[in-house]
Amino acid sequence: MRAALAAITDAGMPGVFAEVRDGRATWRGASGVADVATGRPMRPDFRQRVGSITKTFVSTALLQLVGEGRLSLDAPLRRYLPALAPDGVTVRMLLSHTSGISDYDHVLFATLEGIEKYRHTTVRPLELARIGLSQPPTNPPGGPYAYSNTNFVLAGLLLERLTGRPAAREISRRILRPLGLRDTYFPGTATRIEGPHSLGYVPWVDATLRDFSVYNMSWAWMAGELVSTTADLNRFYRALLGGRLLRPAELAQMRRTVPVDPTQPDGMRYGLALYSLPLPGVLGWGHDGVVLGYQTMSLHSADGRRQVTVALNASHYGIPGQPDPIAAAMIQFLILALGGTAGTAAARSGAPSSWRPLTPAPGRTALGVPGSGALAR
């Protein structure tokens, strides 16, 4: 495990840390640096912005409401949010990204100036929702999968409408506190990560590494605001997949998936903020998250007993169409951690040649091709 984790930093990632669990056994490791200027080492207990993994927490809280008879997955969203819901969109469509509602982040982060502007700018959830709803739909409601953060801003507003409490407070009440996730929290408009953490790097257009660890995450809200640790995420997903957070009926609904790519029905599939990723010899369930400067992947066996959560401290570094040794090392680490078939056997079995997060990276279009060699060792 140590060698596989070090291969990620050997390939160019500044720093990475992970926790792997197999039943009662736990392994934690870290490689590389948390600060490229000072050489401060990465540590396995760091906190991290985990981006769209937030969506699984939101979906879990809403599915608890389904189990309590307070929400119907196949009811029109208009029943609950009449002023915001487009015709034909159901609650299930929000949580499975099949609503056809467009994203908003390409509007906020259309330029480099926008990426810098929102570092210290607060955006309210209603504004995010209205930006997304003002964009042309990606497809008719109930059509193919199309990832959109607007779906989970609306899901957060739905949670608030049904409970009468702020979404962050409700998720803390229902999930964070009962599970003892003491290092997991919603930062709101606070720009700095509380507690020990790494800097988060983006290769900037001038070929330098720019730190984005200080950022107002209101732009992501219930689509990606959460801060957590690898240990807390593993604890959450084990409780979820092991049936501690949802009744069997609601967990089964969460696992009802649609293909991410309709041309590859046996590839990655998305449920209700829980996806399945086939790897050689193992099927992983979980989610990933990408925000400026940070990437996190959390994958688990179907019963939650075999687990891996990995955190990286740089994003937006890949050049489309070019080899990505970091991604290649990452996929091998995930396969090894989950007990799959790594190495040449994986290649023969049709394993993915590289790892790519499902979550679209905010500001990717504005950044274009990052500075050549910015992550090279």
| 27-49 per-position pLDDT tens digit | 999 999 999 999 999 999 999 99
| pLDDT number for residue 350 | 41
| pLDDT number for residue 44 | 98
Q: Coil, strand or helix: which one is 216? A: coil
Are the C-beta atoms of residues 131 and 106 closer than 8 Å to each other?
no
Q: What mean pLDDT, rounded, does the chain reach?
A: 93
| pLDDT number for residue 26 | 98
| pLDDT number for residue 346 | 42
Residues 51-62 as b/e (b if ≥16 CB within 10 A, e otherwise) read bbbbbbbbbbbb
| pLDDT number for residue 355 | 59
CA nearest 331: which of 8, 2, 3?
A: 8
| pLDDT number for residue 351 | 45
| pLDDT number for residue 319 | 79
How far is it between the farthest Cα atoms of the chain?
Answer: 55
| pLDDT number for residue 365 | 83
In this predicted model, what pLDDT tens digit does every residue of 220-237 receive, in sequence order? 999 999 999 999 999 999
State how far the Cα of 57 lies from the Cα of 251, in Å rounded to an integer: 13
Q: In one letter, which amino acid is 350?
A: G
With a pLDDT cut of 70, the percent of the chain lying above it is 93
| pLDDT number for residue 343 | 57
β strands within 24-98, DSSP E? 25-32, 48-49
Residue found by looking up tokens 């997991």 in the block: 184
With a pLDDT cut of 90, the percent of the chain lying above it is 87
Instruction: Enter the tokens of residue 333.
Output: 């680490």
- In this prediction, residues 209-229 reach a mean pLDDT of 98
- In this prediction, residues 15-33 reach a mean pLDDT of 98
Q: Which among 31, 52, 96, 228 is annotated as catalytic?
A: 52
Q: What one-character-per-residue DSSP string does 248-266 give?
A: HHHHHHHT--EESSTT-TT
Q: In one letter, which amino acid is 12?
A: G
User: Is residue 137 scored above 60 in pLDDT?
Assistant: yes
**CA-atom Rg of the chain in angstroms:** 19
Is the Cα torsion angle 85, 87, 93, 98 positive or negative in sign?
negative
More confident residue, 368 or 32: 32
Give catalytic status of residue 59 as yes or no.
no
Q: Alpha-carbon dihedral of residues 157, 158, 161, 166, nearest 10 degrees? A: -50
- In this prediction, residues 87-92 reach a mean pLDDT of 98
User: Is residue 135 scored above 80 in pLDDT?
Assistant: yes
In this predicted model, what pLDDT tens digit does every residue of 255-314 receive, in sequence order? 999 999 999 999 999 999 999 999 999 999 999 999 999 999 999 999 999 999 999 999
